[in-house]
């Protein structure tokens, strides 16, 4: 398993696919995903990118709940994020949600590094399923980077690879 962070290349289109649906069941369904995501967000609250999130504990708790719903659904769980997405495709909605923030590569690396810490705590989950989740995160997170060291901004174009049935 290689939880490498690949760099963002300004102007390069991003291709990604959702995590394997088996990941959701392997982590323990809804409760397991919530445990993973809450662990992640608790770590985020203590990270160098905590300023991107509400500092009020009650508001931050709502962010944890809302974002956990996104990951539950994107990983093949029940459709618990539909109302949040306001009729948009989930990944498109999540990308647009980040448009209001100035996110650079350093913040993305911190976010991914924190997620890697949370994933390291998973027990009994097949490494290939964790890799599937990681590959999604690594590529998808590139779409949130919109501020570059040269002072420019860019919103990457992307293609979501749809699962064939």
Q: What is the distance between the alpha carbons of residues 47 and 49, in angstroms, rounded to a whole number?
A: 5
Query: Is a pLDDT exceeding 70 seen at residue 39?
Result: yes
Cβ 69 vs Cβ 81: under 8 Å: yes
Split at pLDDT 50, 70, 90, the class of 165 is very low
The lowest-confidence range among 24-38, 49-63, 95-109, 117-131 is 95-109
User: What does the pLDDT read at residue 1?
Assistant: 73
Strand partners, 14: 158
Split at pLDDT 50, 70, 90, the class of 163 is low
Phi, psi of 64 (to 5 degrees): -60, -45
The highest-level CATH class for domain 14-160 is mainly alpha
Average pLDDT over residues 110-121: 97
Average pLDDT over residues 48-61: 94
User: What does the pLDDT read at residue 94?
Assistant: 81
For 2-27, what is each residue's pLDDT tens digit? 899 999 998 888 999 999 999 999 99
Average pLDDT over residues 53-60: 94
Residue 93: Cβ within 10 Å count: 15
Collapse the DSSP code of 161 into the 3-class scheme (helix H, G, I; strand E, B; otherwise coil) and give the result: coil
For 79-112, what is each residue's pLDDT tens digit? 988 777 777 777 777 877 777 788 999 999 999 9
């Amino acid at each position: 398993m290689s939880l490498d962070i690949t760099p963002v290349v300004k102007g390069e289109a991003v291709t990604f696919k959702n995590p394997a649906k088996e990941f959701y069941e392997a982590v323990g369904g809804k409760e397991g995903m919530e445990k993973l995501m809450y662990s992640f967000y608790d770590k985020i609250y203590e990270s160098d990118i905590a300023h991107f999130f509400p500092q009020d504990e009650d508001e931050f708790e709502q962010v944890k709940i809302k974002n956990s719903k996104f990951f539950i659904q994107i990983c093949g769980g029940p459709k618990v994020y539909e109302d949040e997405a306001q009729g948009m495709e989930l990944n498109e909605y999540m990308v647009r949600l980040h448009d209001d923030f100035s996110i650079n590569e350093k913040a993305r690396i911190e976010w991914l590094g924190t997620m890697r810490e949370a994933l390291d705590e998973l027990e009994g989950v097949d490494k290939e399923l964790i890799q599937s989740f990681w590959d999604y995160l690594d590529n998808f997170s590139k779409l949130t980077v919109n501020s570059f060291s040269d002072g420019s901004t860019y919103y990457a174009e992307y293609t979501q690879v749809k699962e064939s049935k």
